[in-house]
Amino acid sequence: MKKSLIAMAVFAACASGTAAADTLLSGLGGDRGFGTRIMEPNDDESSERLALPFQINFFGNAYNNYWVNNNGNISFSGPLEDFTPALFPISQAAMIAPYWADVDTRNQVDNLPNPFMNNVYLANPDSKTVVVTWDTVGYYNQHNDKQNTFQLVLRDQSATSGRAGDFDMEFRYGQLQWTTGDASDGSNGVGGQPAVAGWNAGAVTNSYSLIGSGTQNVVGLVNDSNVGTDGVWRFQVRSEELPGSAPYNPILPGNIDDGTAGWVFENIPVGTGTPVWIDPIVATGYDYAISNGPLVNGVTLLPGVGDGRYDIWLWQGGEWQLFAGDVAGGEHIEFGQSVDKFRVTGIETSAEVNPLSPVAFSTGLWFDSIGNATVTQTALTVEVSPVPEPATYGMLGAGLAVLAMARRRRRG
C-alpha cells in the first residue's frame, strides 16, 4: 500500500504511443485472448508463487518459480510490491521488468470499452513459452485516463543452444501512454520517477535498463525495436554471453538522444581481453568519445557494410590523424595506445546506408582496464539523395547473424 502521496505541479501529458496491432501475442484464451486473469484488481499486489514450465539460468542463478507483480514485472525470490522504479542494478530482488511502474488496476469502470480490460493475464501456450500481459492498465491512484498495454514473453531455448536454462526474454509494447503514478511524484501520469524497463540479476554486469528508462522517453519503446518490429524487444540470456559480448546481442543506448550529440552509452561495464559491442544508427562514419572510465585501445568493425573496409583516425595534437587506412571489418585493430577519442570513416554512400535510417552498425570496443565507461557515438553524415534501407549486412563470424542490425526508428 502507498505510504504517501506527494502533491506537485501538473506536467504536460505524454504523447501516446501505439505499436502495430500484431505486436502483442494473443489468441491465448480467456476473456481478452491473453489467457487467465492472474490476480484480482489491485494496487501493489502479486500473484501466488507460480511454477515455470522450464528452468531458467538467470545469469548464474537457476529458477523454477516466479511471481507476477502488478507493477509491471516478475520476480524470483518472492513477491515484489515496490511501486517506485529505479534504474538497474538495484539490491532489492532479481526481476525481469517489461515496464516497472505504479500500475493500479482497481478502476474497472472509467474509460474502459471492455469490462475485462485493466487486468493482468497469464498464458502458457506450450511447454516452452510463458506470456504475461498487462492489458490496458491504469496508474495510481485509480486513474485510467491514460492506459498501457505490454507483455513479457519467456521462451525456453535450451534445446536450440544445448545448454540447460538458456532462454530468450521478449518485451512487447502495444500502447504506452503514462510513465508515473501519483505516489512516485507523478501528476496526470507523467513526471516524477518514470517507468524502468529491463532486468536486474544482482550485479552491474548482468543488469540492464532499456533505452529511455527513468525518463519520459520510456514511452518510445512502443515505436522502437532491436529486432525489426516496432514495440518488440528480444534479448538472449546465455550462460556465457552477457549483453555486449556479441554483435547480435549488443548494449543499446541508455537514453533516447535528440541526434545532436550522438548516442550516449552510460556507465557500461567493461573489461580487457574481449570487445564490448554497442549499437546505434548508421551513417558514413562515426566519432567515438570516452567521457569517463577506462580508455579504448582497439576496435573491431563489422564486415559486409559496403566494401567492408574502413579508415581509422585518432585524435592527436588537437587534430585527427590517420592511424590505419583500408582496414578490414571483422579484424581486431589495436591502437598501440589508449585513447579517449577516435573516428571511423569509409562507409560508402554507394552502400545505400541512409543516415536517417534506423539500421544498426555494431562496433566492438576494446578497453585498457576493468571499470565502467561512458561512450558517445556521433554519426558523420553527407548530403546524398534519399536511398532505401539495405536489406542485409555481413556476418561477423561463421554462423553469427547480426540481428542487432534489424530496423529501428530514428531516436529523437
The confidence score (pLDDT) of residue 229 equals 85
Beta-sheet strands, E only, within 157-262: 167-176, 196-200, 208-209, 232-237
Question: With contact defined as beta carbons under 8 Å apart, do 235 and 109 qualify?
Answer: no
73 forms beta bridges with 69
d(CA 129, CA 156): 7
The confidence score (pLDDT) of residue 302 equals 77
Candidates 273, 309, 286, 298; CA nearest to 362 is: 286
Q: Is the dihedral of CA 109, 113, 115, 117 positive or negative?
A: negative
**What 3-state class would DSSP assign to 182?**
helix
CA distances from 373 to 192, 265, 266, 269, 271 (A): 27, 8, 7, 7, 10
Note if the pTM is more than 0.95: no
The confidence score (pLDDT) of residue 283 equals 61
Residue 332 C-alpha cell reads as 581486431
The confidence score (pLDDT) of residue 54 equals 97
Question: With contact defined as beta carbons under 8 Å apart, do 288 and 252 qualify?
Answer: no
d(CA 214, CA 327): 39
d(CA 145, CA 163): 45
Tell me the CB-side half-sphere exposure of residue 364, using CA atoms within 13 A. Answer: 23
Check whether the bond before 141 is cis (ω within 30° of 0).
yes
Q: Tell me the average confidence (pLDDT) per consecutive run of 10 residues in the chain, 412 residues long.
A: 27 41 89 96 97 94 96 96 92 91 96 92 97 98 97 95 92 97 97 95 78 90 84 83 66 52 65 72 74 92 83 94 93 94 83 46 86 81 40 26 26 25
Question: With contact defined as beta carbons under 8 Å apart, do 53 and 212 qualify?
Answer: no
> How many CB atoms within 10 Å of residue 398?
5
Residue 56 C-alpha cell reads as 531458467
